[in-house]
């Protein structure tokens, strides 16, 4: 019994997190030195992302054979993402005004050492206009898109190639077969890499605690509490409502994706579990084209946790530095974040870069106030990453339900299996790395 339990990935990850936290508290210097283990694990996954996303999207379109359906899925996904992202921004704005985590800190901006945020300034000064955003979706070359791992560029290339394969009919079948074999092989490699997840998760937690110390939590504990509380409220009431409508309630979602949620929490990276999420969503009964288009696109357009953090962090800095903001000022910030939040994915220090870019368009709030967030940003990044993952997983299921591309019998079988009522009869991904539970 114990041996079987220890064989479960989520138990191994929990043990890794516990050991990492212990090392971070007792041996902080050793803990900081473990960071390469966490970075190495994430890099192993990232090196597989581009070809996996490419293969999944191409196969989905090629096997569906109907390009109009792909366009409809894409439009519905973007509408859904914009609505949920806006709700996340608004809820964050409301809670930060109610809880007022920065009020009473009375920070004198002139006393802040802004050198700690210098590395984020050049990226924040880049253009974030609508035209620039859409032009950046078009890669310089196909090879460049894969070399950079630019998700939206890869999706664009995959959609074009998928459409071309549909257009040429049987002549494209040999290439489709090659891409399918390659994708299955890559999923098998992901399964091998995920055996290292407990080490990567433990090293990530150890580094966070060893580097910043638990003491850094107390100084800005009110802000952290506000961010975590808002994330929970958003997940339970907003995403939870969508999940119930889709027929896969939030509690079942947590059970089914517990491995991925724990790895994301420990590594602060949703990309680390993207291949497994894709495989397990297909096992759940979500059609391959929906998984291939919606989930990777959501990583850029549907960062709900990041949206919550951005509004709360911006207003927190204003409160902490006694910067007066009218309702109109806050509405303007909200409008700017609706655009800039779409550019945070895939950028090193994405949350900080996006926040710096937003504050640069609104000079009344001192950008130097970002220094206040440096010590606890990693701890809040855990809430952002997990909320983003839950939001995108539920979004994929919901859009599949909306599109009529969700196998409800398979969903019911998975729920029944998790409740221990009967064995689930699930059509497995031919080479998916996800475990059956």
Residue 325 has pLDDT above 50, yes or no: yes
First to last CA, the chain: 15
With bands split at pLDDT 50, 70 and 90, how would you rate the model's confidence at 430? very low
pLDDT tens sequence across 48-80: 878 888 888 888 778 766 667 777 888 898 899
CATH of the domain at 179: 1.10.3860.10
Q: How far apart are CA 353 and CA 335, in angstroms?
A: 17
Confidence (pLDDT) at 389: 92
Residue 122 has pLDDT above 70, yes or no: no
CA distances from 126 to 129, 132, 133, 183 (A): 9, 10, 11, 35
What's the whole-number mean pLDDT along residues 407-413?
Answer: 90
- Give the residue numbers spanning the domain of 407: 2-418
Confirm whether 382 is domain-assigned. yes
pLDDT tens sequence across 188-203: 888 888 888 888 888 8
Contact between 37 and 267 (Cβ < 8 Å): no
Q: What would the two tokens of residue 174 be?
A: 């040999």
Confirm whether 293 is domain-assigned. yes
More confident residue, 23 or 122: 23
Contact between 302 and 308 (Cβ < 8 Å): no
User: Vertex 213, ends 212 and 214: CA angle to 5°?
Assistant: 125
With bands split at pLDDT 50, 70 and 90, how would you rate the model's confidence at 281? very high
Q: How far apart are CA 298 and CA 403, in angstroms?
A: 16
pLDDT tens sequence across 170-187: 888 888 889 889 988 988
Q: Provide the number of structural domains found in the chain.
A: 1
More confident residue, 261 or 354: 261
Confidence (pLDDT) at 426: 43
Q: Which of 351, 349, 204 is nearest to 265 (CA)?
A: 204
More confident residue, 119 or 148: 148
Confirm whether 426 is domain-assigned. no
Confidence (pLDDT) at 56: 81
Confidence (pLDDT) at 280: 92
Q: Calculate helix-pair angle for 408-418, 274-284, nearest 10 degrees.
A: 110
More confident residue, 201 or 90: 90
Rounded to the nearest integer, the mean pLDDT of the chain is 80
Q: Which of 280, 254, 253 is nearest to 194 (CA)?
A: 280
Confirm whether 427 is domain-assigned. no
Confidence (pLDDT) at 340: 66
pLDDT tens sequence across 340-382: 666 555 444 556 667 776 776 677 777 777 777 766 777 788 8
Confidence (pLDDT) at 347: 44
Confirm whether 428 is domain-assigned. no
Residue 111 has pLDDT above 70, yes or no: no
Confirm whether 435 is domain-assigned. no
Confirm whether 424 is domain-assigned. no
Share of the chain above pLDDT 90, in %: 17
Confidence (pLDDT) at 243: 94
Confidence (pLDDT) at 212: 63
Confirm whether 155 is domain-assigned. yes
Residue 141 has pLDDT above 70, yes or no: yes
Of the given ranges (16-25, 80-89, 129-138), which has the lowest mean pLDDT? 129-138
Residue 413 has pLDDT above 80, yes or no: yes
């Amino acid at each position: 019994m114990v041996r079987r339990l220890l064989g479960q990935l989520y138990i191994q990850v929990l043990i890794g997190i516990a050991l990492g936290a212990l090392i971070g508290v007792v041996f902080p210097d050793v803990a900081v030195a473990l960071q390469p283990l966490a970075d190495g694990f994430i890099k192993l996954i990232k090196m597989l992302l581009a070809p996996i996303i490419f293969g999944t999207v191409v196969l989905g379109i090629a096997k569906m054979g109907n390009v109009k359906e792909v366009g409809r899925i894409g439009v519905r996904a973007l509408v859904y993402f914009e609505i949920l992202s806006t709700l996340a921004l608004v809820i964050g704005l409301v809670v930060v005004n109610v809880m007022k985590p920065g009020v009473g800190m009375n920070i004198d901006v002139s006393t802040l050492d802004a050198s700690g945020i210098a590395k984020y300034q050049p990226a924040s000064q880049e253009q974030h206009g609508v035209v620039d955003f859409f032009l950046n979706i078009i890669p310089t070359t196909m090879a460049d898109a894969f070399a950079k791992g630019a998700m939206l560029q890869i999706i664009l290339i995959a959609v074009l190639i998928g459409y071309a394969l549909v257009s040429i009919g049987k002549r494209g079948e040999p290439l489709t077969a090659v891409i399918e074999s390659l994708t299955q092989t890559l999923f098998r490699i992901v399964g091998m890499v995920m055996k290292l997840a407990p080490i990567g998760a433990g090293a990530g937690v150890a580094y966070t605690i060893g580097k910043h110390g638990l003491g850094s939590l107390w100084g800005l504990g009110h802000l952290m509490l506000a961010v975590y509380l808002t994330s929970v409220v958003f997940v339970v009431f907003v995403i939870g409502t969508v999940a119930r409508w889709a027929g896969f309630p939030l509690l079942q979602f947590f059970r089914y994706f517990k491995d991925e949620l724990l790895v994301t929490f420990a590594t602060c990276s949703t990309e680390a579990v993207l291949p497994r999420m894709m495989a397990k969503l297909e096992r759940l009964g979500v059609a391959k084209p929906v998984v291939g288009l919606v989930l990777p696109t959501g990583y850029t357009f549907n960062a709900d946790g990041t949206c919550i953090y951005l509004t709360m962090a911006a207003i927190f800095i204003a409160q902490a530095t006694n910067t007066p903001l009218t309702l109109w000022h806050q509405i303007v910030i909200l409008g700017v974040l609706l655009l800039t939040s779409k550019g945070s994915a895939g950028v090193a220090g994405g949350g900080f870069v996006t926040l710096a870019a937003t504050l640069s368009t609104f000079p009344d709030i001192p950008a130097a106030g970002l220094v206040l967030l440096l010590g606890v940003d990693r701890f809040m990044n855990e809430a952002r990453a997990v909320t983003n993952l839950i939001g995108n997983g539920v979004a994929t299921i919901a859009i599949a339900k909306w599109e009529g591309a969700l196998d409800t019998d398979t969903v019911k079988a998975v729920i029944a299996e998790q409740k221990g009522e009967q064995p689930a009869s699930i059509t497995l991904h031919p080479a998916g790395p996800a475990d059956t539970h």
